Amino acid sequence: MSKPATKRSLADNEARCVVRNLRVSPRKLNLVAEMIRGMRVQTAINQLTFNKKRIALDVKKALQSAVANAENNHNLNVDSLVVKEAYVGKSLVMKRFHARARGRGAKILKPFSHLTIVVREVEGA
């Protein structure tokens, strides 16, 4: 006997994409995620394409994946999608050290982040 299937946490007109372990700090990633919240998907993709930040390309890939999930898995109309949520979470932190003078060491922290993007189909868009 197997477990019963878990109920879907999103609404019927929503789709999600989760990217785990992006090699950037959550503060820097949140600056890019904050920029696209509430935007129409095509506008957000244009913003991310011409953004100077390195991580914007990975956020763009995640957004395109969320759009593909909406189209293929949930049969939503791509032209009427809006970025409902884009939020960032902490992941692991690699700890390294930098050798300094007189036998000392300095900490180097290399943080990772998780990114979740939820798109929603809006009728009036």
pLDDT, tens digit only, all 125 positions of the chain? 789 988 889 999 999 999 999 999 999 999 999 999 999 999 999 999 999 999 999 999 999 999 999 999 999 999 999 999 999 999 999 999 999 999 999 999 999 999 999 999 998 65
Place of tokens 């989760």: 18
Token couple for 50: 């011409």
CB count within 10 Å of CB 6 equals 6
Alpha carbon distance 8, 117 (integer Å): 16
**In this structure, is residue 79 part of a structural domain?**
yes
- Nearest Cα neighbor of 115 from 2, 20, 15 is 20
Specify the pLDDT at position 124. Answer: 67
Query: 92 in a domain, yes or no?
Result: yes
Q: What is the pLDDT of residue 11?
A: 93
Chain-centroid distance of CA 21 in Å reads 10
Whether 43 contacts 93, CB under 8 Å: no
In a domain, 43, yes or no: yes
Amino acid at 116: T
Q: What is the pLDDT of residue 62?
A: 97
Q: What is the total count of domains within the chain?
A: 1
In this structure, what token pair is assigned to residue 60? 């763009």
Residue 80's domain spans which residues?
Answer: 14-121
CB of 102 closer than 8 Å to CB of 9? no
pLDDT of res. 8: 86
What is the domain-level CATH number for residue 88? Answer: 3.90.470.10
Instruction: Examine residue 98 and state whether it is found in any structural domain, yes or no.
Output: yes
